[in-house]
Structure 1
């Protein structure tokens, strides 16, 4: 009888411990089968582009809280951003560094497009950096029905860097640069002058732009310590970087599907790697050089054991 009582007590203790562990997470159920909802931790401060923002002022703290809650409970979208970051951050980070733009702007890119190269907004903004047609052309991108370099990861990143550096030369404040990326430099400049502020963080703006800066900081906070916010991944669950060979062409291509077959890939693989090719052919009357990516076959197939997290914190 004594042994049975002890065994029962141990089992109950283990069950209670399990319930407590479940309750500490962001998702799950308690011992009664009820859904557990936990408010995410709000940090004392947040940093962006080397600038620190203390979150002890009520409005700043609550704006940050809103975005942390949003990312934690729209968890499918956040989880996919972390997975995709393992593929795209290694491509974008060296370009940001080369161009003298703070590394944290990769989180702005993630906010803009959820790291989906093919993203097109209802307003017509396209690509990872969500350039509008006119803005893309202004910063050196070719944009037409045949070629749309807003979907070219490297070229659009360089164009974004040019925009960001130009904005920084105007404001001298990276918070304002981020706000201008969302609302436009004209609007932010007018509001800074009208409201007598030196940083966009203290401006009274429309809801979208007001939230935008805190969405960037919240996503950065989560992606730097995803386990603290309920996101648990293994290396095998991340999307690996893809390796390509580059084929340069200076003439048109009548049939991209035939050209793809000649280079050992499917039409789908060709278009997926080169989303800037907008049609079924490439028109090139000017003799311009285009670099077309061809995925290497060893990179086209998953090897879960070979996937290395770009940021070790993603898979602790």
Structure 2
């Protein structure tokens, strides 16, 4: 075991350990709401609250299992595709928004308020909010370190070579997913700098919403540029590992965050609770999230296909 493998081992175990308190907190919320010992989150009925937090329990459990798979021997024996997909979603959720998580924690932002798009109860005590943020940051940093070391062991050709070794097609034709990703990025960045077109409830905007819009818009743009570079093989002399990693993170951010926010947006559009609202127009938000999910998935397919073409050439 070399130095990088030892670092990856520590990072993987650290990621699993960091997310464990979040898993236990969510289990306590579900059990507590069933027994009437804990309140239901603002804007939710008991059934919706249980379903939402049960989903996050499943996501946390998968995240812990993925972290352990990156370091334990059985992780090298299980099928690579589902593990890579779960790792892609996990890193897409956590790594791109680490600055947002740190900033929202420092500002005391209410994690999960509908304004910020997260899933926790605005009335949670400060120590729970701190554990939630530590779990997200710890898992994100752990995956960011452990995943490349795992890929290095299992698929050593992923980041090898330069872009010109595997790029195909005409550089004059932009892949459609890059165009869609750039369009989504423009809207989110426009909102982040104070744009009001498409904003239905201006008073619902807070600092956390501006920061998250900016961060996600930035990564959508990065994903579009990086995917175009990998698919087209331009600039030809740039090492492949840089655009591949940026494309992986950015496309995962598009898919994971919009895949999470789309059902929440549709719920608000259908249920129309009086005490919960999003700043943006719900129809526009739903369309943006749907486009982001499709573009992110297509970017991943393009990145994987290009890698396979390169490794077989």
Under a length normalisation based on structure 1, what TM-score does the superposition of the two structures give?
0.27
* Bigger fraction of residues in strand: 1
Instruction: Give the greater-gyration-radius structure (CA).
Output: 1
Under a length normalisation based on structure 2, what TM-score does the superposition of the two structures give?
0.28
Higher relative contact order, structure no. (Cα contacts within 8 Å, ≥ 6 residues apart): 2
* Bigger fraction of residues in helix: 2
